[in-house]
Structure 1
Amino acid sequence: MTILGIDHVNIIVQDLAISARYYADVLGLDPNDPPAPHRPDELQWLHDATGRPVIHLRVRPGSYSVGTGAIDHIAFTCRDYPAAIARLERHSLPYTTDEVASIGLRQIRVTDPDGVELELNFSDA
C-alpha cells in the first residue's frame, strides 16, 4: 500500500448549517449535499477548488464535543495570502499569523465554530 495524501477530514459539528456556512464564507469551500444514502440534514460535503470533497461535516447526536480531541489542527495548502486575510477581516474573525522563512511559508491560524483549529499554509507569499 502507498499513501498518496489525505482524502478528507470528517468533523462532528453542533449545527450543520452554521458550520457549512462558516467553511463556505471563510475558506471559500463549496458545500454540497452528500451522495445517497447519506442524508443532507445529517451530513454536508465541502468541496475545494478542484471539486474534491475535502471536509465532511456531520451531526451525530450524543457524540458532540467542542475542540479537536486528539487532532491538534487541520492544515490546508492555500494560495492568495492577502485575499485570505481580507476574507477573515471581512468576517471579523480573530486569527494569528506566522512565518517559516526558511521554507518560504506563511501561515494563518483560525478556529471554526466548533473549536477546530485550521492552519492555512501559503507558499506563494
Structure 2
Amino acid sequence: MPVESLDHLNLATRDLAVSRRFYSEVVGLVEGERPPFNRAGAWMYAHERPVLHLSTGRQPTPDHTGPFNHVAFLASGLDGLRERLRMHGVSFEEFAVPEQGMHQVFFRDPDGTQVEMIYTGEEADRARREGARVDATLSGTV
C-alpha cells in the first residue's frame, strides 16, 4: 500500500496563543520550526516530528468540519496516485515545499474532508524538476 504513515493533523484555531499553550502544557508537544507561511500558526512536535499544525486566519468551512482542516499521509508512488485520482474523477492540486524537501498533493474525500499526500526524496525532487508550483502561502500570493 502506498500510504506509509499518518504525517500530521492541521487544526484551525481562533486563539493561537491559547492553543500553543494547551498543546504544549496539557498535551506535551513542543513548538518547533515552521516554514515562513504568510499566515500565523505553529507546528507542534512529538520527538523530531511536527505532528500538529495550528493555523489561524481561516474562515469557518462551509462543510462544517469545525476546527479540523485536513489529514496528511506520508506516501510513495506519486505517479500512481495521480493516475488513481484522474481515474476516479477527483480534482487535485500539487505544490512544492522546497524548505521541507517535500511535494504535496491535496484533494477531498467523498465527505469533503481535505486529504494531503506528502512525497519526499526523489519523488519530490522529480516533481520540482517537472515544474511543480510552490505553495501559494509560501510564495506570498495568499
TM-score range with shorter-chain normalisation?
0.3 to 0.5
* TM-score (normalizing by structure 2): 0.40
Higher strand share: 2
Higher helix share: 2
* TM-score (normalizing by structure 1): 0.45
